[in-house]
């Protein structure tokens, strides 16, 4: 049974992953190579917990017990020595992750399950140099950002691990009230990002050809497919609408859709001009400095409202 968790890399994803496990009473050890992060990470988790309490998603008296479940280590060996389950959330660089996996393979206890939060790297590449025994205990567990609020977790089950180990990990995520899904093929991007970016390709294209304004395309998703999608998936929606209609629409429409095999020129242009979104004050929209905190809080608040609503059905 998984009790002790180690999180390696405490940036955007790692700190949220640590907080999410600690909230459900798992003992969490964190290791980050950058010591500067050690000071911020607990503070960041605390701020997120306080906000969840303000929004009545968790009890206020849960904050300190949660924080006391987390320990930060400046030494990797110390951070993993009692780990039943390790998840790495270091940068998306194959060589970096391979190097870490090789080290973890050597220093982790025999029973430890080693996992990666990679968004796009293949598991077979990640575990290329791992011992045969450990290959039975390695998988991708892909979280969505912000980790402490987004329910989905994509779990790889590509045939390298016995069913009982996979079920332990699956149960771990049920215990922290996430919604695990099983990905049965070693495909880049798992499932959620493939769906998201197929949609994003069309969104950027429609903006590029000036078919719709940025404001209206956001409205389209929020009050159209996204509105329904929060409660009803594509397959169910198709069944409800009638598969014959969906089939005709796809035959008529697919030849018109953008089929590009590279990122959109519009997106590249923004990146080249240093318009990276919230972090540089401008992306598709503008983010004056004094509004950024509120924008982030509003984003978290909307997710909390959805989380509460999703528990009622
Ligand atoms: N940011 C997202 O929206 C998102 C969503 C899902 C998955 N992911 C994946 O999660 C992983 C981490 O992404 P992030 O956005 O949190 O990155 P990040 O840059 O915010 O954080 C990475 C952290 O890892 C630390 N680090 C770097 N090398 C290390 C090492 N060898 N050992 C220990 N710590 C090390 C860094 O100091 C940093 O704090 C990536 O694989 C990414 O693809 C990111």
DSSP codes, 237-290? HHHHH-HHHHHHHHHHHGGGS---SS--HHHHHHHHTT--BGGGTBSSSB--GG
Please give the average per-residue pLDDT across 211-218, as a whole number: 98
All structural domains of the chain with their residue ranges: 4-183, 195-310
pLDDT of 188: 87
92 C-alpha to ligand 1 centroid (Å): 7
Q: Is the CB of 19 under 6 A from ligand 1?
A: no
Q: Is the CB of 12 under 6 A from ligand 1?
A: yes
How many CB atoms lie under 10 A from the CB of residue 282? 16
Check whether 48 has a pLDDT greater than 70: yes
Q: For ligand 1, pick from 6, 8, 12, 188 the residue to mutate: most ligand atoms within 8 Å of CB.
A: 12
Q: Is the CB of 13 under 6 A from ligand 1?
A: yes
Please give the average per-residue pLDDT across 214-239, as a whole number: 97
Q: For ligand 1, pick from 13, 114, 147 the residue to mutate: most ligand atoms within 8 Å of CB.
A: 13
Please give the average per-residue pLDDT across 139-157, as a whole number: 97
Nearest protein CA to atom 39 of ligand 1, as residue: 11
Which ligand 1 atom is nearest residue 143's CA?
A: 6
Beta strand 152-156 with 179-183: parallel, antiparallel or unpaired?
parallel
Residue for token digits 């389209």? 220
pLDDT of 39: 81
Please give the average per-residue pLDDT across 118-127, as a whole number: 92
Residue for token digits 């992953």? 17
pLDDT of 311: 83
Residue 289, CA distances (Å) to 5, 81, 109, 275 in order: 37, 43, 46, 14
Cβ atoms of 86 and 108 closer than 8 Å: yes
Task: Classify burial at 31, counting beta carbons within 10 Å of its beta carbon; exposed 0-12, middle 13-18, buried 19 or more.
Answer: buried
pLDDT of 313: 64
Of 153-157, 186-190, 204-208, the least confident: 186-190
Which ligand 1 atom is nearest residue 31's CA?
A: 33
Beta strand 27-31 with 138-143: parallel, antiparallel or unpaired?
unpaired
Residue 145, CA distances (Å) to 19, 59, 91, 128, 134 in order: 13, 23, 14, 27, 28
CATH dotted code for 195-310: 1.10.1040.10
Q: What is residue 159's three-state secondary structure? A: coil
CA dist 197 and 263 (Å) reads 10
Q: HSE on the CB side for 48, CA within 13 Å?
A: 27
Which ligand 1 atom is nearest residue 37's CA?
A: 39
Query: Over the stretch 67-121, which tens digit does the pLDDT of each residue have?
Result: 999 999 999 999 999 999 999 999 999 999 999 999 999 999 999 999 999 998 9
Q: Is the CB of 92 under 6 A from ligand 1?
A: yes
Per-chain mean pLDDT for the chain: 96
Instruction: Enter the tokens of residue 266.
Output: 């519009």
**Spelled out in words, what is the top-level CATH class assigned to the domain 4-183?**
alpha beta
What is 29-46 written as a DSSP string?
EEE-S-HHHHHHHHHHHH
Residue for token digits 């009803």? 232
95 C-alpha to ligand 1 centroid (Å): 14
The sheet that has 70-73: what strands, in order across it?
70-73, 27-31, 4-8, 85-88, 113-116, 138-143, 152-156, 179-183
Q: Is the CB of 34 under 6 A from ligand 1?
A: yes
Q: Is the CB of 283 under 6 A from ligand 1?
A: no
Of 107, 115, 126, 127, the closest CA to residue 89 belongs to 115
67 C-alpha to ligand 1 centroid (Å): 21
Q: Is the CB of 116 under 6 A from ligand 1?
A: no
Nearest protein CA to atom 6 of ligand 1, as residue: 144
Q: For ligand 1, pick from 89, 125, 183 the residue to mutate: most ligand atoms within 8 Å of CB.
A: 89
223 C-alpha to ligand 1 centroid (Å): 33
Percent of the chain whose predicted confidence (pLDDT) is above 90: 94
4-183 and 195-310 share one fold: no
């Amino acid at each position: 049974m998984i009790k002790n968790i180690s999180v390696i890399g405490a940036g955007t994803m790692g700190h949220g992953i640590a907080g999410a496990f600690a909230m459900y009473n798992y003992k969490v050890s964190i290791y980050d190579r950058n010591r500067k992060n050690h000071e911020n990470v607990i503070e960041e988790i605390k701020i997120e917990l306080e906000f969840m309490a303000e929004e009545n998603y968790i009890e206020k008296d849960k904050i300190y017990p949660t924080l006391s479940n987390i320990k930060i280590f400046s030494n990797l060996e110390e951070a993993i020595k009692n780990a039943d389950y390790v998840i790495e959330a270091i940068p998306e660089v194959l060589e970096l992750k391979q190097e870490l996996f090789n080290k973890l393979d050597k220093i982790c206890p025999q029973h430890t399950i080693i996992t990666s939060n990679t968004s796009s790297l293949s598991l077979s590449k990640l575990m290329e140099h791992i011992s045969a025994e450990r290959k039975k205990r390695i998988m991708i567990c892909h979280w969505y950002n912000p980790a402490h609020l987004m329910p989905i977790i994509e779990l790889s089950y590509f045939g390298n691990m016995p069913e009982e180990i996979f079920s332990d990990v699956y149960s771990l995520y049920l215990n922290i009230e996430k919604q695990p899904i099983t990905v049965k093929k070693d495909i880049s991007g798992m499932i959620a990002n493939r769906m998201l970016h197929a949609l994003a390709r069309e969104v950027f294209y429609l903006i590029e050809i000036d078919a719709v304004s940025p404001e209206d395309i956001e409205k389209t998703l929020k009050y159209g497919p996204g509105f329904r999608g929060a409660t009803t998936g594509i397959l169910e929606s198709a069944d409800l609408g009638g598969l014959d209609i969906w089939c005709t629409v796809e035959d008529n429409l697919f030849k018109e859709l953008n089929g590009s095999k590279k990122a959109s020129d519009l997106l590249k242009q923004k990146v080249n001009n240093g318009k990276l979104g919230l972090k540089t004050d401008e992306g598709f929209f503008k983010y004056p400095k004094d509004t950024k905190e509120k924008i982030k809080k509003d984003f978290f608040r909307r997710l909390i409202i959805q989380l509460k609503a999703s528990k009622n059905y």
